[in-house]
Structure 1
Amino acid sequence: MIYLDYAATTPMSDEALEVFQQAAKKFYGNSSSLHDIGSNANILLETCRCKLASLLNVDKNGIYFTSGGSESNILALQSIIDSHRKNGNHLITSVCEHPSVYYFFKKLEKQGFEVTYLPINEYGVIDLNCLKQSIKSTTILASIQYANSEIGTIQPIDAISEILHNHNVIFHCDAVQAFGKISIDINKQKIDALSISSHKVYGPKGVGAVYINPNLSWNAQIPGTTHEKGFRPGTINVPGIASFTAAATNTCEMMIEERKRLAEIRNEIIRLLKTNVPMEIVVEGDPTNHLPNILGLRITGMEGQLVMLEANRHGLAISTGSACSITNQKPSRTIKSLGRTEAECYEFIRISFGRYTTNQHIQPIINILKKITSEHKSKLRYSVSN
């Protein structure tokens, strides 16, 4: 099986597995316990906090560990909004956010908040003028993803940040897909809060992190919580955090070289698909500002779910969109927001590459998709002729 669903989750790296095993054996104590075994676990925890902070170029006091990207988004947003609700009730996000963000804001609307959902253009980029016009005196926070998980489009984060800060609006950014793929400098980009996840960078599932600027106030969601300075209840997963930190460090060290390598694979696959597959291929997303590892496309006239199932039958693992909404069976919200018809939305598939994707995989990928589309086209011709 050729795995091409890295945007959904990455396999754990050998380094991450080794660190997890060693940490689980040697640092099994509760990091909040006051005996030496607990203190040793706490020392490792704080070492990881410092290392992760250095990767993001932020103060370690702003790093809070969580159970993953979705919880990072929800806890960060709720904690900050609760603390600043006295300043207004208007929030801004985009129509193409991850489900954990999009449906969180839908929930807040039922609680009396006013939410503006920014539209995107045909490439998935928000309109900066629309963002400016959306800001009100009651606007307290905006949450805009760094990069889209389905089409890979990278948002103009620097420009977004400048607009929001000029109007004293707090900026939260979901960087789960972007972290480890492209350079992120939170201080330089003036991002107030940011969410990342372990299993997108070859670390274990069930671990993530939030950065919140130490100068920004937030409210604990569960009164009396002591772990992570009250940000999240529950015993700290020290082995998982150590493994996450090792995986993130390794991924960031390889980032520049890996970005170039994956971009070349992506470009070659697009070229070969357009010249070998007997059906029209439409690549979705921004043609220049996109993640190197995500290729969102449509094969005109074929439902994406059919392509995915047939690809799986032939030993190719791809997806039809975000793994967090895949069981919904509704057209992709992102693709629909690009202005595509419902039929076109159902054509969408996502191919995402990673560390273990090689040049040797390219031709087998093309061969499988060529076979699938050729068979489908033949069936269409037969049904028409009969």
Structure 2
Amino acid sequence: MIYLDYAATTPMSENSLNIYMKAAKNAYGNSSSLHDIGHIAGMTLQASKKLITDMIGGNEKRLYFTGSGSEANVLAIQSLLNGVNPLKNHIITTQIEHSSLYTFFKRLQTDGFEVTFIEPNNQGQVSVEVVISKLKDNTGLVSIQHGNSELGVIQPIEEIGLCLKKHGILFHSDCVQTFGKMPIHIEKGYVDAISISSHKIYGPKGIGAVYIHSSAYWQPVIPGTTHESGFRPGTVDVPAAAAFAAAAKDIADKMNEYLHHYQELRSQFIRLIEPYRDRLILLNENSENTLSNILPVIIKGIEGQYIMLECNRKGFAISTGSACQVGMQAPPRSLLAIGLDEQIAKQYIRISLGAQTTAKELESFTKALINIIEQF
């Protein structure tokens, strides 16, 4: 089967897998233990943090490992809110956040927080002007996703963050889809916290991380927690952290190479579907503010679920949106947020490219996709 669902998850790289096995054998101790075996684990953990934070120009002491990107999102927000003046109970976010944050912000509304969900424009973009227009005297935190997993749209988080700094408002960004795919420089001071994940960059599943800038004050979600400087309870999975770091270093070393690779494949796909524009629409085709590895497509007159199943039958793995929302009958929330009606939004499929995707594979897939459409 040809895999074209890299935005959902990626296979572990050989290097990441090898590092995991080595660390599992040699750094198996509890990183908080004071004996020599614990010290080896602790040193491995710190080295892993340094490799990851070097990618974003940060300090390894400000990185905290979590159990996933979704958990990283929730812990980042709650930890920051715990450190904010309780009177600053207004939060700004968007309608197109990852489900882990969108549902968490909905829950916070029931806990007494006032949450403003910004609607993006029809390209999925959120401007700094709109964010600033929503600020209130009691705004304590803003959270805006860097890159959307369904539309591929990239938000101007540096511009937004610099404006929020002038107002003294905390800024968090979910960078799970962009980490390793484009430069992020957290110590420039435009963002207070980011969430990242290992399995989106060819590392293991079950581990993510939060980076919190030294200027941001936070408090533990669970008081009395000792691991990860109080950020998250539980013994840290040191082998997974080491494998995460290995994957991060590898992807950082090849970031420009992969970006060019995705851009070439995207251009190829656009050429291949050109004769079929009456049936296929590539969303945000002409926008520069998109992740080139994510191809969001509308197939006119055919539900995406049918296309996905037929592609699977023909040996191609694609999706109809974020894997975190599989099983939901409604179409992707992000598509409704940009103004598509429910019927059109249900005609959506997502093709997401990876480092291993070849031009031949994409050509084979496009031919199969066109055949499915013509046979419908």
Q: TM-score range by the shorter chain?
A: over 0.9
Matching of residues 25-36 of structure 1 within 5 Å: 25-36=25-36
Q: Is the 8 A contact 2:186 2:213 kept in 1?
A: no
Matching of residues 68-107 of structure 1 within 5 Å: 68-107=68-107
Matched residue, 1:2: 2
Q: 1:127 deviation in Å?
A: 3.1
Deviations 1:294-343 (A, max 9, x none): 00010111100000000000001000001111211212110001100110
Q: Distance in 2 between matches of 1:225 and 1:187?
A: 26
Q: Distance in 2 between matches of 1:163 and 1:214?
A: 18
Matched residue, 2:244: 244
Matched residue, 1:192: 192
Matched residue, 1:381: none
Q: Is the 8 A contact 1:91 1:114 kept in 2?
A: yes
- 3-state SS of paired residue (1:150): coil
Q: 1:41 deviation in Å?
A: 0.5
Q: Distance in 2 between matches of 1:151 and 1:333?
A: 11
Q: Distance in 2 between matches of 1:201 and 1:18?
A: 15
Q: 1:362 deviation in Å?
A: 2.3
Matched residue, 1:58: 58
Matched residue, 1:216: 216
Q: 1:133 deviation in Å?
A: 1.1
Q: 1:156 deviation in Å?
A: 1.1
Matched residue, 2:282: 283
- 3-state SS of paired residue (1:261): helix
Q: TM-score, normalised by structure 1?
A: 0.95
Shift >4 Å, 4+ stretches: none
Matching of residues 34-53 of structure 1 within 5 Å: 34-53=34-53
Q: Is the 8 A contact 1:304 1:346 kept in 2?
A: yes
- 3-state SS of paired residue (1:122): coil
Q: Distance in 2 between matches of 1:232 and 1:107?
A: 20
C-alpha distance 6-189 of structure 1, shift in aligned 2 (>3 A)? farther
**Which is worse superposed, 341-350 or 160-169?**
160-169
Q: Is the 8 A contact 1:118 1:127 kept in 2?
A: no
Q: Distance in 2 between matches of 1:174 and 1:351?
A: 21
State the one-letter code of the partner of 2:39: S
State the one-letter code of the partner of 2:289: N
Q: 1:87 deviation in Å?
A: 4.2
The answer for unaligned runs of 5 or more in structure 1 is 377-386
Q: 1:274 deviation in Å?
A: 2.6
Q: 1:364 deviation in Å?
A: 0.6
Q: 1:367 deviation in Å?
A: 1.4
Q: Is the 8 A contact 1:7 1:352 kept in 2?
A: yes
Q: Distance in 1 between matches of 2:83 and 2:232?
A: 16
Q: TM-score, normalised by structure 2?
A: 0.98
Matched residue, 2:264: 264
Q: 1 or 2, which has the higher helix percentage?
A: 1
**Which is worse superposed, 92-101 or 51-60?**
51-60
Matched residue, 2:300: 300
> Percent identity over the alignment?
46
The answer for unaligned runs of 5 or more in structure 2 is none
State the one-letter code of the partner of 1:166: K
Matched residue, 1:371: 371
- 3-state SS of paired residue (2:84): helix
Deviations 1:81-136 (A, max 9, x none): 12104241100000000001111100000011101111101110013322111001
Q: 1:187 deviation in Å?
A: 1.9
Q: 1:363 deviation in Å?
A: 1.9
Q: Is the 8 A contact 1:278 1:374 kept in 2?
A: no
Q: Distance in 1 between matches of 2:120 and 2:223?
A: 39
- 3-state SS of paired residue (1:199): coil
Matched residue, 2:338: 338
Q: 1:188 deviation in Å?
A: 2.3
Q: Distance in 2 between matches of 1:252 and 1:315?
A: 31
**Which is worse superposed, 66-75 or 210-219?**
210-219
- 3-state SS of paired residue (1:86): coil
Matched residue, 1:12: 12
- 3-state SS of paired residue (2:360): helix
Q: Is the 8 A contact 1:91 1:113 kept in 2?
A: yes
Q: 1:7 deviation in Å?
A: 0.1
Q: Is the 8 A contact 2:143 2:171 kept in 1?
A: yes
Q: 1:214 deviation in Å?
A: 2.2
Q: Distance in 2 between matches of 1:189 and 1:153?
A: 22
State the one-letter code of the partner of 2:183: S
- 3-state SS of paired residue (1:327): coil
Q: Is the 8 A contact 2:273 2:366 kept in 1?
A: yes
Deviations 1:331-363 (A, max 9, x none): 211000110011011001100000110112122
Q: 1:270 deviation in Å?
A: 2.0
Q: Distance in 2 between matches of 1:215 and 1:363?
A: 49
Q: Distance in 1 between matches of 2:190 and 2:332?
A: 31
Are 1:181 and 2:158 matched, yes or no? no
- 3-state SS of paired residue (1:200): coil
Deviations 1:207-230 (A, max 9, x none): 111000123211111122110011
State the one-letter code of the partner of 2:62: G
**Which is worse superposed, 183-192 or 333-342?**
183-192
For these two proteins, the number of residue pairs brought into alignment is 375
Q: 1:185 deviation in Å?
A: 1.0
Q: Is the 8 A contact 1:141 1:170 kept in 2?
A: yes
